[in-house]
Structure 1
Amino acid sequence: MSAKSGIVVTTTFKLYNLVESLVKGQDDSLKEKKIIFIIDEAHRTTMGDMMAKIKEYFFQNGLFFGFTGTPLFDENKAKGKVNKRSELINTTEKLFGPLLHQYTIDEAIADGNVLGFHVDYINTGEFRNYDDLREQLIETLSEQHPEKGEKAIAREVYQWDDSEVENKAAEEGILTYQDETHIPRVVEEVLDGWQEQSQNGEFNAILTAAYKERVIAYYHEFKKQIAEKFKDGEAKPNVAMTFSFGNENDPDNIALEVVDEMFKDYANFTGISFTPGNKTHGEAAYFEDVTDRMKRGGSGRNPKNIDILIVADQLLTGYDSKRINTLYVDRRLELQGLIQAYSRTNRVFGSSKEFGTIINFQYPRMTQELVRAALELYGSGGNNSKVIVAKYEDAVDELNKRMVNLIQELSDPTRWIDLRDDEDGKKRFKVAFEEAAKQLNVVKQYYEFVWDDKRFGLDEHKWLQYIGAYRNLFPRGGDVPEEEVIRELQGRTKLQGSQVIDAQSILELIGNKTTTEGGYIVINDNNLVLIQEQIQELSNLGEHEKAESLKRFVNEELRGGHIPATSNFDEAFQDWQDKQQFKEVKAFASEWGIDADLLSKSLKEYSLIKPEEIPFRDDISKTLDPDKATNTFAGNKLMLNMKLGPVLQKWMREIKQKYK
């Protein structure tokens, strides 16, 4: 703060905290002052509760100006907030008032203040060409609609442009991107062009992929291919990754072993060590070093620099580095998100950087349309619709209708298993659930929002059970809803209020509800019923595999009277799981004629973080005995060895998941 000039530089968060303390203390002293607020990056965090409270407090005498390179228009479909006057504040103009001055991206490029973009769209081999996609679509649609006739369908399909063909092929599941094959292709493409694209390490690049899991998968694939492609002494790229680290209560928090691996790799080329969880030399310090180091260019300028940084969302908005010249994109970006991300590459930097390069690796024609729409919007400016939206009561009525429809598709969410083999029923449930979830998102935007069992059509706990049913029927990595729904469905697992139900809490409950008799742990019928209800609730809330393991443990070990009175329940459960796992190891080893002890050792070392890597894979193959195998390939060593690879990887992943 400058006392002489009267200028205060602060953040939304700090200003919000000040307003909160003033309101609680019934202090109106600042409210009466005439203050001008100049808000930078006005597209980012200005639509939420904090800015709403700030504007409400300073409403009488405050004057708010917003600056942004990507204002939000109706086309952005931002959620926004509905204020007390039933006004939906979801565009920059509605929040700050009429546009005062506009300087668009095409004008900035023409003036030489930023560079233009060179955008590539790569087909990584998921389809041969668009005519091939058309033929596959004709075959699929003819099977779905035999009454139309194949010729009529063919005429219709051949009238579609490539973007429509791509869109329909994706919708029908013909064109999909599977990480197991797609990520290695992308990494191969990036590494093959790295020297030329970075101008021998003078510049560096960002690769963005949706979700932290995919960031980690990319990181491991880069490490694998770099080790294979580059000989000792050759110039090779330094690769790093960063993401939101979360905290110990974050359901999407990253495993400690991943962070530890990332820090050790980073220290190998930078010489700087970080420690997971350390307040001064931990995750925050690592992120600060990464953002600073990315501004120095690639390893051609200094071997301690970063060449390729892998991110999910971080650094895609508001981060400036003149030495970033390339953005690799393996995700969907739209409108302001697309322009913001692309703009990381277009900062002016002498004659050696003529433009920012963007290389897209998904849905070439659909992505091309998204780029066109974004450039059109921010080259000319978008629209602002009328401010007034439906009243809260009307939004709740619509939610009630959708909840009723959801209940009609599955009246008891704990009976989700009835739909597991019913494909039509699953589809109807999926549509009904996502429609209800979307409308609930709308209702939550209103300031009046509070859960109302009667008006919403069901209580909050039952809604959590519907979320659990959805998760069990459509596990992540399979058929998932749109990203908007996913964000709202991430959250804690709870039973009526704040009681967290997980495997650990149930083991603690068992320990509290048991007694000893004859040197063994026993349980009475009433407490057994309580424990079984809790296990079922764990399944209802989307943890079916864990619930099944606990159910078997209770039935086989606790009710069977097999647990010594001196046992610790955690250890007893782990010992039981280890025994069950080894039974499956022996069965698989017998089926394929391989050594069970070596397979068990491999399984112990196997990591879900690196699912494609099978520890001791060559050693396992050497133990293969066709005379001991019991499956259909018994007696044929060549066939056994050929078929074992993909089956072993799938089995490893399933067993590790089952007994994690």
Structure 2
Amino acid sequence: MSPLNPGRFTTGSGKTLTSFKAAQLASKMPSVDKVLFVVDRKDLDYQTMREYDRFAPGSANSNTSTKILAEQLTKPNGALLKSGRTNQPIIITTIQKLSTFIKANTGHEIFSGHVVIIFDACHRSQFGDMHTDITRAFKRYNLFGFTGTPIFAENSASGGNPLLKTTEQAFGDKLHTYTIMDAITDKNVLPFRVDYINTIGARAGIVDKDVPAIDRERALLDPRRIAQVTAYILEHFDQKTKRQTSYEHAVVTNVAESSRTHRRAESLKEKKRVRGFNALFATASIDAARRYYNQFQMQMEQLPPAKRLKVGLIYSYGANEAEPDGILEDEAFDTDMLASGARDFLEDAIQDYNDMFGTSYDTSADKFQNYYKDLSQRMKNREIDLVIVVNMFLTGFDATTLNTLFVDKNLRMHGLIQAYSRTNRILNSVKRHGNIVVFRDLEDETNAALELFGNKDARSIVIAPPYSEYFAEYSEKVSELLRRFPLGAQIIGEQDQKDFINIFGSVLRLSNILGEFDEFEGQDVLTERQHQDYRSVYLNLYADFRTDTAAEKEQINDDVVFEIELVKQVEINVDYILMLVERMRAERGNGKDKELRAQITHAVDASPSLRSKRDLVEDFVDSVSVDGAVDEQWQTFIAAKRDAELQRIIDELELKPEQTRAFVVAAFRDAQLSTGGTAITTIMPPVSRFNREAGHGDKKKRVIEALTSFFERYFELAGGSE
């Protein structure tokens, strides 16, 4: 049977979902014996299985060894496997396991059956001997290939089988195309914002295309240049990744368990507020990665703790040389063949990681793979700031929290698109672009890749507008805001309220984007105080609209969108308020304390979380003494208020005092209030066996509402939000 190539689906466009549906439909055809979904890396095996189970639980089987794959291909569909799972017609496996099975099972009956083989990412790993082995072994097959970065004649590599150099040669005619332009237009992925940083000092002539590649790479490793690139990243990291902002994100809380079972991992997700996004740093070689890792450690020693980054490092054999053609090699997990110095260095870096997170990984085969999984999950959880890589993580790795790629390596064609596309997964309204910061002359390569995988007009869609366009639009919106809605003037009337919300929403969105540009520093046309005061007005309107909704009044906000996530990202925390209180206390009596007192009020009003706790902040500010540490006084004040308020709830609802206090302590410890099961019932007073149902449900509801309100009021103030 001839192979079929569904064509190019750009990265992030839903290839896995589309290929799953194709696999599911094929598996239900009476003539099809098995559907093999083939991936090219072990971590993608696990990742795909988790995706499939989310689409349709139990619809497919994966395997951890060729032996298990053989059992799945031998036993009939519906039979019980040794693992206890039912044998499914869809099998997820790696190309390596499938190739090993073929070589070890010549004449197996599955080769005569009707098999549909689907490749999720048909990169170059499917173009070699393994691809030939598969297509020779199976007699009746349909072969499908999905890829976001197809190989054309223009971007094919030299060497190898001359009949298997392009995607079309390996997988047949293209059935469908969905380009990166389509995905961005449909808002399935984000556009890129590219900074070309060419102010880094380097020896003259090193970018000359005539200089042999190895000499150019040696020159680019000049210690002075390494130090300057590192200093730039450290200086601009918070700006590019918005590390000073925050947002709510679902995280997997037990990484070790999630590595063993995808089902358990899904049940361990919980919402947490995290700070900013994270980044990858793509380096040209293992030598370069090591030099940069050392430089980061050295420079961070001179920084205050708040400015230091959690930096990881990963590489493996096969990614140990610079790629002259800028094409990424397929990822491998082999550390045994690393040179001793490179492996020892990686071992030390993994030990730094172990010290950071309390883990116990090393470079041995199994532990290195688990290190990869743990590192990737911590990237997705936003627990690590920056990972230095050579080729790893630049293809196939998806983390919505990743928004920035620093590049100091040659990239081109599909390798460039694959690497850039690590950054443009949609997460929330705060993340507007995939940030690419390039320390090499890759502008021509970027434009060529976009033209190849889009068309000649792709750049205007795929690459975000320049700073000047955003700043001009921002200045125009701010001018309109100041002219139409001066601070202190009441906004009266439905239409004016709508207009204010829309205009200030635009200001929030544009300010969020401009904050990623180096040029915006010191150029904001609104002062910090004006930002706070306008946010306060915005939040007042938001509260009014929500009250109208609750009261089921006539709705006026059907065509109004509140950018509350963008307000929350500049959330003012308790530490900032306490700092202002400390300054106010020091200035008491000279007039400046009144200004600081007003500043505290403005800051609280501009904070979505603190404005609901205004009474606590105001009472503390009025009661703070001239002696003693402010933060200690705050903790004592909050503890007393919290205990008094909990006692009032206990008295009013007649709850069991000891059990209720233990229940609340557990809630603050676990960062969530457990309202399911019998947890609430154990703190309520006993119910008469003759009147068990009367009012019990209403009473339980009142208890849940009271304790939920109490928990939300005091949790962040108790230091549990981060």
TM-score (norm 2): 0.42
